[in-house]
A and B are shown apart, each in its own frame.
Chain A
Amino acid sequence: MSASISSLIKHPLVFRGRDHRHSADGSELRLPFGQTNLDKACAGGVPASGVLSIRALAGQGELQLLNNVLLQKAGTQKRIIWLPNRLQLNPNWMCQTPYQQQSWVVNTPNEADALWACEQAIRSQACCCIVIYLAQVEPKAARRLQVLARQYDCLVVLVHPGNRSPGALPVNIDMALSFDMRQWFVDLHRVTGAWPQQHIAIEHPLPASNDAIVNAFRQFSSNDVTAIHEVS
């Protein structure tokens, strides 16, 4: 019974009375990722308030993907709360971002406290965005955050490995990052206002690479006059 209702709810033309965040022309305000395929699949981008769930392993570049979204949210000048899990946020990285001055890092001893801190931050209405890292997410907790975030006009980015949360979470967007032979894909398990989709190809460049050096060596090593080193 719940499976059939959930597929009905996912229909993009079904209007839910609680969804009241709309722009002037009546459509809901969405923040684009800056990637054409992904924005199209998400009906324009991430809803400005609510929960965005990203299933990603550490180091898969989830924040790089969300950079455009965070920048738009940071424009409100409200606080951005970071709730890391086991790792420490690098201050020197944060200082390179435009939202360094409005960011607070909150360290919690356990995930229950992290969820509590997230909830308090939403309710305070002093925060525009909360980025929280968890090892696992219960659908009930995700739903609670979703309801609060919609009510208080806050964006919650929930990052977790995803291996302990089968099925789509009851949030605005539930997506997973995957890497397959040099190409990155996004699987959309749930999207408000659009159908779920799998295998959406995205551009996810490395933060840095030696390609320039490698190309230079290749270009100049072929000529005996300009060759300095051999490239293997």
Chain B
Amino acid sequence: MHWLYLHFPRLQLDLFEQLHPEQTGPTVVIDGTDNTVCQLSAAALTAGIKPGMGLAEITAIHAQTCIIEYAANSENCQLEQLATTLYAIASDIVCVASNGIAINLSPLELYYQGLDNFMALCKRSLTVRQVHFHYGSGATIEIARVLARSHFDRVESEPSLALNHLKNCSLQATELPSKEKEQLNRIGIRTLGQLIALPLDEIGKRFNNQIITYLLAIKGVKQPPYSLFHPRKVFSQYLELPYAVESAPRLSRYIAIVLANNCAYLQKRNLATDTLQFELQQREHDNLMFKVNAGTPHHHLSEWQMLIDLKLEQLKLDSPVTSLTLTCDQLVEFDPENLSLLQSSYSRHAENMLLGKLLARLGSDSVKTVEQVNEHRQDYVVQQACALHKAPACSEANGLQPVWLMVQPQPLTEQTQIVYGPERVHTGWWDDHPVKRDYFLALTGKGQRLWVYRDDQQHWYVHGYFG
């Protein structure tokens, strides 16, 4: 077997730099368990900050350093996205820890007619994603990993050649626990070559089985089992925000990242969706969930972004948002509309896009078609106005009907002249909402045509207007 290992030393920082390109000063990521630097930007390196430094040291060196807390969840999600991207060019992929991807090169050498072709493609795919990485190769994942963490950045044509380079790698690049590394340093063993040279049974007397298993893998004797990566059947991505966001429209730039991944996921599979579900984790309140619906399933980034921006304008946050999750599980096959060349410019797609915009900004109940209601009580005609769906053609007329109805009839207070009526409506005794009214068409002095009624107490009300 021949494995390639890609080591991503600063995934969280890479994402931060993508989201905030205007941030040019020193930036570090702090491990919350011991408050030491685990990732740092080029500007931070230039300023003299080193990995492992504490907060006090950092601020003493450069007071304006931007500090971000390490989030393993966020890195895991980024790694999953990278693995999904690489899945398009390689099949046997293993995600290792939160910052490494191993790829089995053995089947790819034949497929790509040489490892150089594959490596060029791999580097280009990762460069597009704007992530820093180092790589190495070997007979086992552990060998490749040590070389990658030592910044070897070369793929040998034969796995056995990697063993020669392994000997000069520092113990710091291995996965040995810190305590064991310190122990070995004290007795003068600082490189992997020195460690491998020791007899295994002597090492076994002083260290536990975990170390022995690791050394066997390093020597290429036996590799522990790993599960291969498979992309999810539905899209879901979690994103930790570098800062807590208080205003919903400001979430747009962060949502754009996960949305781009979602659209790429859909396009590669020739899928589309008309619903995106978002979950916002708020600092002091429960998670806020909302959906964005489009009028028609599609996978176009710009159109989705516009609908999401419309939704965010109306969204109110209870407290600052610290992270978000996008889930897209309602997938259909993408079926674009075929338009005739000679047809007029009207298309159902335009109609559906309009519908999506209206629903996103005004709410899911804002757009309705009209269907005849089998009800003589005008109050219930208004309440039963149907939700959006294809309206059936109406079969029969329903007598004289005003254009506009008042949800709540108002007492008639102005002088009017009755010009038509009465039409008696006496119904509803079976459902405890009886109505007994005499409806008239009345005319005001200004020519307004009112739909008025007189109830059984002889009170007069205005119920509608003729448009």
A residues near B, CB below 8 A? Answer: 57-64, 76-79, 84, 87-96, 100-101, 103-109, 113, 116-117, 120-121, 124-127, 177-179, 184, 206-210
Contacts and interface: CB of A to CB of B under 8 A. Distances in A.
Given A61-B449, A120-B357, A206-B449, A94 B420 contact: no
A106 B367 contact: yes
Shortest beta-carbon contacts, A-B, top 7: A179-B447, A59-B465, A95-B394, A59-B448, A124-B354, A63-B467, A87-B404
A125 B446 CA distance: 38
Given A95-B394, A126-B354, A210-B421, A88 B367 contact: no
Contacts of A57: 446-448
Given A96-B398, A121-B354, 4 more contacts: A57-B448, A61-B447, A120-B357, A209-B420
A63 B403 CA distance: 9
Given A100-B370, A107-B366, A59 B406 contact: no
B371 A84 contact: no
Contacts of B443: 206
B132 to A, nearest CB: 43
Nearest to A77: B346
A58 B386 CA distance: 24
Contacts of B446: 57, 60, 179
Contact of A91 (B365, B385, B449): B385
B341 interface: no
A60 to B, nearest CB: 5
Contact of A61 (B366, B400, B421, B467): B467
B393 A90 contact: no
Contacts of B419: 206, 208-210
B200 interface: no
Which residue, A60, A90, A127, has most C-beta atoms of chain B within 10 A?
A: A90
Which residue, A63, A92, A178, has most C-beta atoms of chain B within 10 A?
A: A92
B351 interface: yes
Contact of B373 (A62, A64, A91, A117): A91
B297 interface: no
B366 A106 contact: yes
Contact of B381 (A92, A103, A210): A92
Contact of A100 (B381, B394, B406): B394
A58 B446 CA distance: 10
Interface residues of B, number: 56
A61 B451 CA distance: 12
A89 B401 contact: no
Given A105-B370, A124-B351, A62 B400 contact: no
A190 to B, nearest CB: 22
B387 to A, nearest CB: 11
A77 to B, nearest CB: 7
A91 B394 CA distance: 10
Contacts of B447: 57, 60-61, 177-179, 184
A58 B403 CA distance: 10
B404 A126 contact: no
A106 B368 CA distance: 6
Contacts of A126: 346-347, 350-351, 353-354
B154 to A, nearest CB: 55
A94 B370 contact: yes
B441 A90 contact: no
Interface in B372-421: 372-373, 378, 381-382, 384-386, 388, 391, 393-394, 397-398, 400-407, 419-421
Interface string B4-25: 0000000000000000000000
Contacts of A113: 361-362
Nearest to A104: B367
A58 B401 CA distance: 15
A109 B385 CA distance: 17
Contacts of B448: 57-60
B410 to A, nearest CB: 11
A203 to B, nearest CB: 13
30 contacts: A58-B404, A59-B404, A59-B448, A59-B449, A60-B449, A61-B466, A64-B467, A76-B346, A87-B464, A89-B385, A90-B382, A91-B386, A92-B373, A93-B403, A95-B372, A95-B398, A100-B394, A103-B369, A105-B385, A106-B358, A113-B362, A124-B351, A126-B354, A177-B447, A179-B446, A207-B449, A208-B400, A209-B441, A210-B419, A210-B421
A106 B402 CA distance: 19
A100 B420 contact: no
Contacts of B384: 91
A117 B449 contact: no
Contacts of A84: 404
